[in-house]
Amino acid sequence: MKMKHILIVEDVENVLRFMCFYLLVDKYQVSTASNGKEALEKIIESARASNPVDLLVLDLKLPKLSGTELIDTLNNLNIDIPTVVVSAYGKDQIRQVLHGKKHELSLTKPFEPEELKKAIKKILQNKTLLEV
């Protein structure tokens, strides 16, 4: 069975490493990007290489192309990737910023590794059920 490909988009290095470590331990294929523009390029490259991104873990506040701008760009390109938004904003502020934007779940930083793992597992299981 193919490993699920997760792209983590985070501009804070220690947070990026933290998430990578816990997802690699769980045997996911992990790619990273430090800004929205780089993430968009990796999403397109991965699709062309027949290794599409199965799930996006996305910070909202990013250089070059914000998380919300990346969500909008993916929508405009008809690229549908389940997304977990991670942000230091409070829950109400996240809800307000993401109003009307496609995402599956959001986590407020700081969060425990188990919260991220649980969110990812839930989304990937639902995606697999929908594909069957």
Exposed, middle or buried by CB within 10 Å (0-12, 13-18, 19+), for 67?
A: buried
**What is the mean pLDDT of the segment spanning 18-35?**
95
Q: Catalogue the E-assigned strands of 38-77.
A: 55-59
Instruction: Please state the domain count of the chain.
Output: 1
For residue 27, give its domain range.
Answer: 5-131
How confident is the model over 100-131, as pLDDT tens digits? Answer: 767 778 888 999 999 999 999 999 988 765 65
Instruction: Give the whole-angstrom CA distance, residue 72 versus residue 102.
Output: 8
CATH of the domain at 121: 3.40.50.2300
Q: Which amino acid is at 34?
A: S
CA distances for 87 relative to 15, 20, 24, 45, 52, angstroms: 11, 16, 21, 26, 24
Q: Give residue-wise pLDDT tens across range 60-96.
A: 999 999 999 999 999 999 999 999 999 887 787 777 7
pLDDT of residue 46: 95
